[in-house]
Every structure is written in C-alpha cells, then in structure tokens.
Structure 1
Amino acid sequence: MKKVFIVLMVTLMGVFAFTQVKNPDMIFDATLSEPDTLDPHHAYDTSSGEVIFNVYDNLVAYDGESMSKFVPMLSTVVPTVENGYLRDGGTTYVFPIREGVKFHNGNDLTPEDVEYTFERALLYNPPGGPVWMYLDPMFGVFSIRTLVEDYVGASWDTIFDSEMNPTSPEYEEALVNFYNDVIDPAVEVQGNEVLVHLARPFAPFLNVIASGSSWGSILDKEYSVELGIWDGNAEGWWKYHGWTKEQSPYFDHAMGTGPYKLVEWDHAQQRVTLERFDDYWKGPAPIRRVIIQGIDEWSTRRAMLETGDADIAYVPAQYLDVVLSMDGLTVIPGTPEVSITSLGFNWQVDPESPYIGSGQLDGNGIPPDFFADHNVRLGFAYAFDYDGMINEVLNGLGEKVPTALPTGFLGFDEDLPTYELDLQKAENYFKRAYQGRLWQTGFNMTILYNTGNDSRRVSAEILRDNLAKINPRFQVEVRGVQWPTYLDERENMMLPVYIIGWVADFPDPHNFIFTYYHSEGDYGGFYGDNFAEFASLPRPEFGGKSLNKMIEDAALESDPAKREQMYIDIQEFVFDYALVLPLYQPQGLRVHRSWLKGWINNPIWPGDYYYNYTKVE
C-alpha cells in the first residue's frame, strides 16, 4: 500500500520568536534512555547503537535512505560480482582497506584491525548479542559454542569447568587448534585487502556489516589489547568469551575512526557527550559537540523543545497534536519504520523473580512456567485492544500485523488472521487454562516497561485493565524501570512478559522470523527451555519438521515463491499457538528544531547520524 508522508513545518513567528540559532556549535538530543553498553559486539539496542554509529565506521555504508544500495566507507570498494570483489560464487567478500584513516587516538587503520574485529566478535559472542549474524552466514551456526562442540566432539560443559578453564590438556589443545583451523582462516589479510569467507552465499551480508550496525564497527586492535580485550592469540581465547556487558572493558569505552569521539558517559545523568574528531578522514563534522541525554519525562523534553535547548527530541505519538501547535519545529509524522512492537512470553521465569509474586498458582502470583500453557497465551492475545492502541494512543501512526513480520517483507500476507480484542474469547481460553484452576484462583504478576516510553506503558495498562474486566482476580501491576535495568531483567529471565520493539538488522524476513520464533533467536532465546523444547518438536504442520528447522530451511530456500509460502506456513503456526503478540507496527514521528538541517530518514539506522547536520537560521 502506497503511503503519502506529509512534512508539517511550523515556522518561527512573532516578535518574541527566536531570532537566531541557539547553541550553534552543539546538538542536544533529548532521547529516552542511556545506552546499555558501548561494546559494539554486545550492543543490540538503538540507544547503544546510536552512540556507536557516530563514534565508529564500518566497511561500507548505506547510500542515503536506501536499504539496498551501499557506498564505500573503510573499504574503498563495495564488493560485487561485477567488480570482482565478490568471488567464489558469492562466498568470498574482498575489502580493500582505505589508507590514511586514523583512530581517535592517532593510530592508523590497518587490515589487521579489520581481521581482529571480525575474529574478536566471533570468539566473544555474548549471549543475546548480535554476533549470530556473523556466525550464521560464515559457519551455518548461531553460537560459537555449537561450533566448538562440533569441532572438539564434546559438550561445552564437558570442555570447560565453571571458571571457563579447559578440563583437560587435550581439550585445551583442541581449543587452540579450533582457532587455527576454523576461526583464523575465515578472515584473511592479503596485502591491503581483507577477505571474509562465508559457508554459503548470503545476500544480506553487506546489510549485516553496513554502517548503522554496531556489530560491524571496526576496532583498533592495538588499543583493544591494551584495554584488556582479546589479546589476538589462539592460546586462551576462551578467557575472553561470553563476558557480561560490565565485564567488557568496552562497556563504557570507545575508540573508533568515526566523525565523533566519546568524551564522557555520565550514568547518573543518563548523558553521553561526543566531541568532533577533527582528523576524520572525510573531513571534520560541521557541529563540534553532541549531547545525547536520556530524559524520562515528556514534560521536560517538551519544555526543552519549546525553549530551543533541545534540537531533537523523542516524542510519543500520542503527543502529535502538542508538537504541531509549537513554533519553530519540523514535525514529520508517519515516517516508515522496519520495526515491530510486540509482547513476548517467558515460558520459564527464574523462580527468584520479584515479578511473579508467590511463584504459585494461588491467586498471589504465577508459577514460573505460567506462559507455557497456550490457553494462557491465547487469553492474553484476545485481551489487548490493538485497534484502540493504534487509533487512540498512537494517533493512527501504526499498523496492525498478523505476526512479528512487518509489511512489505517477503512472506507478509494481509489475509492471515489477526488477534482482536474479544473479552469473551479471552475468558473462554482462561477457563481452559490449568484445567479450570486459573479461573478460580486468579493470578498476580508485574509487567515492566522502560521509563519514559509512554506507548509501552499504555500498552501494559490496557492489558492490565482488560484482564481485570475479564476476572477481578486477574491482577497486574505496571511498573517503570530504566532501560538498562529492563534489558538486564529480560536477559536474566526475570520478566514473565516483556513489551519491546525490534528494528530490522537487515531487510529480510529471516531477521524477524528467526529473532522472534526460533529458540536461538535474540528474543526466542529468552522464552526459556520449555520453549526451546517446544520449538524442537516435530510438527505435522511442517511435514514432520520442527519449528526451528522450518525457520532454518526457509532462510536457505533459494526459490522466492517457495520461501514465501514457508514463511506463511510458519506464521499460521505461530499465530495458532500465540507465541508472540504483535501489538503494532509503528510509524515514525520525527521532531526537531527547524534550524537543524541535513536529516536523512533511513529506517534501518539506530538513530541520528550527526555528521550530516548543520544548524542554520
């Protein structure tokens, strides 16, 4: 469906209006949250990604607003079959590395930095991080642990003790050989070129590594080793694997070649300060300083927009009319987004979670495996007001979708069924759950949202209120926490449900279907062991294949028509079992001061690219 996006400009008027640009050499971005981490191989959220996007460079970059065209960045060439830099039937990418590029500390960029970056990513591979996007095309697996187990011929827990020490000299030798035989040959330096070898042709590979993808950021090897990141040796590489985000020295450090360098990350103020890098290889940015600050309260962000203290601000869709009435703003509603906002279920919550009450089906809590019951999930599915959320809360800036796959992607089918608000149907499902016990006892649980995200708060409140209408014994508390805390609680399996968005890493259905519905996906991996078992069972709907296998096979299918049908079959299955509730596909609302020039809307970017901006009256 073709969309028309109208740019609504409100210009400065009146004798009391601003007569000149405020803070002409600084950009203040009033956003929602501070980053989760600045480690490019751990960061997997847009708050972190926006900072990394401006501090680091990648091998290639998107060409403006396009999600399918690329331009050279740290590589002087975008590899194609035609120019000879994509070889071996699409399995070898050759990147000539740009000379004369400096890191922020003055070190020269070298091909060895690029090789080190890829290899460090593969070996580090933190749980829930983005590195699966390298492992999948390069090795056909989603975790370095699988690769190690296949090579060594033993399970991970057999190879290592609880302190990540090899349990025998034989295993230690095998681990060293694993690096030499498997990891090192996958990325090679030949003169000034870096060759990256894939296990199979993978069309979105350039999307995976393009600028805006934090995991594609190129590190300074020398600085990384000095900081305490992997030392680059085969011996002991496992000591640098799977750290928590705080264990990584790159948690709050950054050393890139990008247009801005990190000055400070003030956690107490949720504020990141960036300074222009004057030796940037493309020339210095027009604006000297950038401040990105997480500000929870909409009223504060609104006041800063009005006074001109903020150049850019996050504006929830429900406040569209407010910003349209303000002077001096550029307001652009309905910008396209390749994103889904969903509610996910944890099938196996940590029993120590503070969000499940008593941990029992006794009216004062929920059991840890509460959402393993499909009747419970279906009850929740029909207790949410999807149309009301889009039309009344989002001011129409959203679309209803059948599953966690955005419109326009291969496999999207508007004829697939969608969940509707139907309290009677929800009641029927709840009465079937737990052989009728749930209806009699009720439940009590907590739903978290990240503070300042009013859309997610309202989503949780809608669900809370409707559940109480269905049965007064169904009690839900809605509570806000800071964004890093929210992510930590999800990763620690504490949240019974979580409302979260997913912005495409690359424009292919695999990036959504795998993420949400495969038990090793970034979201599916946090549904618990019960879900992993469910996703691994043979299914008659798939001719005896499991859900996981069907998703894997769909990604490999080369016939577009067959692949499309496979994704439709997958979506019919996940809808029937209510594995995820797709609350809406959002449309963007861009708001900035009208003196800010140079904004480009690439929906796959994690945020603003400040290098493009100027401030002009």
Structure 2
Amino acid sequence: MRILTSRSARALTAALAVGLIATGCASERGKDGDKDGAKDTFVFGAPGDPASLDPSLAADGETFRVTRQAFEALLEHESGGSKLVGGLAEKWSSNPEGTVWTFNLRKGVKFHDGEAFNAAAVCANYDHWFNWKGTYQSSAISTYWQDIMGGFAKNEDKEAPAPNYKSCTAKDENTAVIEVLKPSANLPGGFSLQALAIHSPKAIKEYEKQEASAKGDAITYPKYSQEAGTVAGTGPYKIAKWNKGNKEVSLTRFDDYWGDKAKVKNLVIRTIDTEEGRRQALQAGDIDGYDLVAPADIKTLESAGFKVPTRDVFNLLYLGMTQTKNPALQKPEVRQAIAHAVDRENIVKTQLPAGGKVATQFMPDTVAGWSENVKKYPFDTAKAKQLLASAGASNLSVEMCYPTEVTRPYMPAPQDIFELIKADLEKAGIKVTPKPLKWNPDYLDAVESGSCALHMLGWTGDFNDGYNFIGTWFAEPDKQWGFKDDKVFTAVKAGSLQGDPTKRTDLYKAANEAIMEYLPGLPLTSSPPAIAFGKNVVPPKVSPLTQENFAEVSFK
C-alpha cells in the first residue's frame, strides 16, 4: 500500500493551503528555470504524507510514491502497465519448483552514495531484512517482508509467520541467487515491490546502528528514515530533503543513473490533503500535477486545458470488521446485517468517477480469480433489521474509524464515504460512534493492531496476481480482522502453493467464494482513480498500479 471535514471547512482548508503554497514557495519557484529559461522543477501534489524514506519500513502508497523515484527493485512493471519487466535484474529465472530464483544483474549501476551495485549488494539487503530484530519484526513496520518472505532468522514476535526466506548467494559479481523454502504465488511479483527495493550496503550499515521503537500502537521510526542524507538507492532521482514543516520531499536528478536520465532536474512532492486544495493549487500554477482528482472536477479541469488521464481499475475499498474489538461482530448474522445495510451503489454514484464499480469480493474483476459465484449481499435495510433481531443485536452500537488528512485511489473522499455508511447503518438501527484518526501513522497503526471495530481501508494491487489481494488479508489470522476460520485460511493458501496458472485461478475463485460465505468484512467498491497535470506538462504514462515514474515528465 489516507481531517477531511465538512464541505465548508474543507473549502476553507483548501483556500489556506493554496495561500501557503503561493507564499511559502515564491522564492523557490522564482528560481525555477535553467539558463535557457526552461522549467527545471516539477511539483506534484500528493494527498498524504509519506511515513518513511526507507520503503522497506512502509506499506503505504504515499511513501512509495516518493521512494519509487529514488529506489529500484530487482524487477519492475512496464511503464503504464502491470507486466513484469527487468529492473536492476536484466533477466531472471527459477527452478521448476519456484524455490530458487536466479537474477542476472545490470552492469555499471551505481548507488546515490557512489557505491557499486552488484550481487553482494542484493544479498546484503535480503539478509538485512531477514535478520531484523525487535520492533522491526512488528507487522506495522515489516508488513511486506512478512507477506512475501515470512518471518525472520529468529522470530521474537510470537505472531510473526514462519520464515520462507532461505538464503541469498552472490554466485558471481552480476548473478544473485535467492532461495525460498516453499513456492509462493507472491513470487516473482514480490521482487518488484518498493519494500524490497535495493539499498546501498554502505547505507544499510548506518541503518543497522539505529532502532525502531513502539509504545502501544504508536511506532517511532528510526531517525535515518525520517530525514534525507542516509538512504541511498539507484533510481533516476535522489532524495535531497524532507521538509516536514512544509509537508514536502525534494529530490534531485541523479546524473550517474544507469538508464534514461530524468527529464526535469528537480522533483518536489508536496502534501495537500484536500481535493479542493490540490485542484486550486494546479489551477493557480503552484503545482504541476496532482493525484486523486475528485470526480466532479474532471470535466472542469479538462475543459480548461488540463490533462486528466484516468487509470485502469486495479483497486478495492472495503469495510473492515474487527471481531475481537466488538464481540457482536463474531455473529455471522450481525456481519451479514451490516453488509445488507450499506448502499454500495450509492457510494459508486455519488463518490466515484465514471467507471467505478460495486465490489462483490475482495479483488477487482480485472484480476484472474474473480468469481461470479460468490454469495451476494444486496442493499436491503429491512433484511438488515431482521438479521440483527435474530442475532439479539437490535440495539447494536459500534465504533467506526475513518482516516483524515488523506485521500486514496480507492477512497477519494473518506469522510463523505464514512457519512454515507454511517447513515445507512443507522437506518438499520445500528448506532455508530465516529472515530476520526490522522491517516499516517495513527489510523494505519490502529487498524493494523485491531483497535477499530469498523474501519475503511483498501488496496491497490502491487502486481497482477489474485493472492496479492486475498492473500494480503486472509492467508492467516490477522489483528485487523480478529477471526480464525481454517476453511478460509486453507482456501486462500491453496492458490498460493499451486504452480499451474489455470489451476491457481480456479483455486482463487474457490477462495473468494469461501471468504464471502464467511464474510469477515464487506467489499465496497473499485475505482478508476484520475490524475491531473498542468497545461504545459508532458505527463508520464499513468499506471493501473499507481506507479508513475516522474523521470518521464517534461515541460513543453
């Protein structure tokens, strides 16, 4: 892998945001040009703050939007698509069992700190992650490592999964061999993740001198990950500064980059956490592009000459239910009542751009494994009331968390969507207590730790495999959901262990049917998120995975 306030308050916030942009950046933008007068800084408006400058400690899209410009993984996705292509590895292969992966690495690649990239550097990264200790083993920090490679050399957290990573060997200077204990549907796709992007071994030595810490649900990230200067990747940009006061990360072109050099010298990614603020900043010329365009703004911007491409659907928004937080949710009839109470079609019509869809299961219909035969829960307030009565829960009260200061590709207006769901549930007789939390880190940490009885969250696929969706949530017990059901877990894992693509797809369909029969939460919608660029911008290819490469950007 995020306060929206009332509409009037959001408008005020937007106006203030634009005012700050116009004044706070005047000196920077006054110098925004090369000797020939061409613009040399591309400013992009992001909807949320990053959590870390080290992508291996993150699981959120706003961190990855920044780090993707500076770090590269062994594999990448083709520009504008979801097909796997070579990244730092030109070629890759595996044994028939899918347990030994061989990477033929690019030659002549340098890290931002001048270190040479080679097979030993690849192994230094994987062994670093495998040997994490203490708070680094928390699922709030090492989510992706645990999803892809399992646990650690020595599991200290009793909830950490068994390790699947076995070893990494530098066969020669330009050949790295990574072995796992069991085949997994997460590979080779997992090798393309930003969380497994490759860092300079010199930087890693500095990382290992610092610790992360936790107090309750709150995570304190290591200092190196919160300021520029230590992290070093191989990407077309290098991170120059993280100005948290102005909510922006500055990057500069890496002139020793191995591939096509970035077309614009400087890149600034600035947080503007309201839709109105981002739109007005683009219209005023204070930024050159922004993400997650409000559906109502698309035609307005296009008619004024701005470019507003829409990505293909590759995401999911869901209503999560944490059974351990509210015991009433342990009753199937209560979960079913909540599902029938929510008018998902209304969310699509009022909150999503054209092409938005009601979700029937925990993956979009663009992913192989989507099933037409899952159990459906159509909007029916009367049936919801009936189910609550049969469960002895007609006076149900439930706390619902929702995120502030963010929008996501699958969730363009969190508070507005929350208000619709709250109204639907209350029509069915369910009292909802709102609990707004700042997206990063408060909301994400609360959801991860199981502190929210109901919550809204979602997922944009990392790579095109069904397990990247359902396996993320339902391969094993997870605090976010707080349930144990072997039928669900077994069905989900079955697909991950099947090497034949056709058989794997059939197993994913069966898993989706088992999940929706149990109903751990309610899939809500899938959305085609739009992204906007200035009139003078030649934009990058837009990605269904929201993995835009800003090195492709230029100005007319």
Q: How would you bin the TM-score normalised by the shorter chain?
A: 0.7 to 0.9
Alignment of 1:401-420 (within 5 A): 401-420=359-378
* In 2: Cα distance, 1:89 partner to 1:615 partner: 48
| SS state at 1:55 partner | coil
1:207 Cα shift? 2.1
Return the alpha-carbon distance in structure 2 between the equivalents of residues 483 and 157 of structure 1.
26
Q: 1:441-480 counterparts in 2 under 5 A?
A: 442-443=396-397, 445-453=399-407, 454-471=412-429, 474-477=431-434, 479=436
In the alignment, what sits opposite 1:380? 338
Structure 1 residues 360-393: Cα deviation after superposition (integer angstroms, max 9, x where no partner): xxxxxxxx43422222222211121111111222
What SS does the corresponding residue of 1:120 show, helix, strand or coil?
helix
Give the structure 1 partner of residue 91 of structure 2: 78
Match of 2:169 among 174, 188, 192: 188
Shift of 1:108: 2.2
Q: Please say if 1:64 is aligned against 2:79.
A: yes
Which residue does the alignment assign to 1:209? 191
Whole-Å separation in 2 of the counterparts to 1:557 and 1:283? 38
Kept in 1: contact 2:212–2:221 (CA 8 A): no
Pairing 1:502-517 to 2, within 5 Å after superposition: 502-517=459-474
Report the residue type matching 1:29 in the other structure.
Answer: F
Q: What does residue 280 of structure 1 align with?
A: 257
Write out per-residue CA displacement over residues 205-262 of structure 1, whole angstroms, 9 at most, x where no aligned residue: 232112xx212211111222134358xxxxxxxx889998534344325211111111
Mapping for residues 45-64 of structure 1, pairs under 5 Å: 45-64=60-79
- Report the counterpart of residue 221 of structure 1 in structure 2: 201
Q: How far apart in 1 are the matches of 2:502 and 2:76?
A: 30
For the 8 Å contact 1:340–1:586, the answer to whether it is kept is yes
How far the C-alpha of 1:476 sits from its partner, in A, is: 3.3
Query: In the superposition, relative to structure 1, how do residues 260 and 137 fare at CA in structure 2: closer, same or farther (>3 Å)?
Result: closer
Deviations 1:25-46 (A, max 9, x none): 1111111101122222221111
Question: Quick one: structure 1 residues 614 and 384, their matched pair in 2 at CA, closer, same or farther if it must change by over 3 Å?
Answer: same
Q: Which runs of 4+ in 1 moved over 4 A?
A: 20-23, 87-90, 129-138, 155-158, 200-204, 239-245, 559-562
User: Are the equivalent residues in 2 in contact too, given 1:404–1:580 (CA < 8 A)?
Assistant: no
Q: How does 1:156-305 map to 2 (within 5 A)?
A: 186-192=167-173, 193-202=175-184, 205-210=187-192, 213-229=193-209, 246-253=220-227, 254-282=231-259, 284-305=261-282
Structure 2 runs not aligned, ≥5 long:
1-31
Q: Give the secondary structure class of the aligned counterpart of 2:117.
A: coil
Report the AA paired with residue 99 of structure 2.
T
Name the residue aligned to 1:540: none
Inter-CA distance 552–526: structure 2 relative to 1 (3 Å threshold): same
Aligned mates of 2:400, 2:183 — CA distance in 1? 45
Distance 1:186 1:222 in 2: 20
Q: Deviations over 1:521-553 (max 9, x none)?
A: xxx44223xx1xx223xxxxxxxxx32122212
Matched, 1:340 2:322: no
Contact 1:74/1:98 (<8 A) preserved: yes
Looking at structure 2, the residues matched to 295 and 372 of structure 1 have their Cα atoms a distance apart, in angstroms, of 39
SS in structure 2 of the partner of residue 103 of structure 1: coil
State the Cα deviation string for residues 46-69 of structure 1 (Å, max 9, x = none): 101111111112223223234234
User: Residue 486 of structure 1 is aligned with which of 410, 434, 443?
Assistant: 443
> Which residue does the alignment assign to 1:582?
523
* Percent identity for Structure 1 against Structure 2: 21
Distance 1:317 1:325 in 2: 13
The DSSP-based 3-state class of the residue aligned with 2:335 is helix
Cα distance, 1:344–1:385 mapped onto 2, change above 3 Å = same
Q: TM-score, normalised by structure 2?
A: 0.82
Q: Distance in 2 between matches of 1:31 and 1:194?
A: 36
Aligned to 1:123: 131
Aligned to 1:439: 394
* Letter in structure 1 aligned against 2:91: V
Question: 1:110 deviation in Å?
Answer: 3.2
Instruction: Measure, in 2, the Cα distance between the counterparts of 1:487 and 1:132.
Output: 12
Query: Match of 1:410, SS?
Result: coil
Name which of 527, 530, 552 aligns with 2:493. 552
Name the CA distance, whole Å, in 2 between partners of 1:553 and 1:415. Answer: 18
Assess, with a 3 A threshold, how the Cα gap between structure 1 residues 610 and 419 changes in structure 2: closer, same or farther: same
Greater alpha carbon shift after TM alignment, 421-430 vs 266-275: 266-275
SS at match of 2:130: helix
Counterpart of 2:63 in 1: which secondary structure? Answer: helix
1:101 aligns with 109
Mapped to 2, the partners of 1:290 and 1:370 lie a distance apart of 49
**Contact 1:41–1:129 at 8 Å: present in 2 too?**
no
In the TM superposition, residue 200 of structure 1 has moved relative to its aligned partner by: 4.3
Deviates more, 1:511-520 or 1:379-388: 511-520
Kindly tell me: are residues 371 and 280 of structure 1, through their superposed partners in 2, closer, same or farther at Cα, counting changes over 3 Å? Answer: same
Gaps of 5+ in 1: 1-19, 81-85, 150-154, 159-177, 231-238, 350-367, 537-545
In the TM superposition, residue 202 of structure 1 has moved relative to its aligned partner by: 4.7
How many angstroms does 1:88 deviate by? Answer: 6.2
Cα gap change, 1:381 to 1:316, in 2 (>3 Å): farther
Cα distance in structure 1, aligned partners of 2:540 and 2:239: 22
**Residue 342 to residue 208, structure 1, CA distance change in 2 (3 Å):** same
Structure 1 residue 34 and structure 2 residue 8: aligned?
A: no
Q: CA–CA distance in 2 between the matches of 1:568 and 1:313? A: 36
C-alpha contact 1:513 1:551 (8 A) present in aligned 2: yes
SS at match of 1:205: coil
Q: Secondary structure at the match of 1:508?
A: coil
Give, as a single letter, the amino acid of the residue that structure 1 aligns with 2:177: L
TM-score of the superposition, structure 1-length normalised? 0.75
Alignment CA distance shift 1:203-1:418 (3 Å): closer
2:316–2:526 CA contact under 8 A, matched in 1 = yes
Please give the alpha-carbon distance, in whole angstroms, between the structure 2 residues aligned to 1:567 and 1:206: 18
Q: Does the residue aligned with 1:551 lie in a helix, a strand or coil?
A: helix
1:249 and 1:113, CA in 2 relative to 1: closer, same or farther beyond 3 A? farther
Query: Structure 2 vs 1, CA of residues 504 and 250 (structure 1 numbering), >3 Å: closer, same or farther?
Result: farther
Q: Secondary structure at the match of 1:78?
A: strand
Which has the larger Rg? 1
Amino acid at match of 1:220: S
- CA separation of 1:136 and 1:88: change in aligned 2, threshold 3 A: farther
Instruction: Give SS of 1:57's match.
Output: coil
Please tell me whether the aligned partners of residues 147 and 472 of structure 2 are also in contact (alpha carbons under 8 angstroms): no
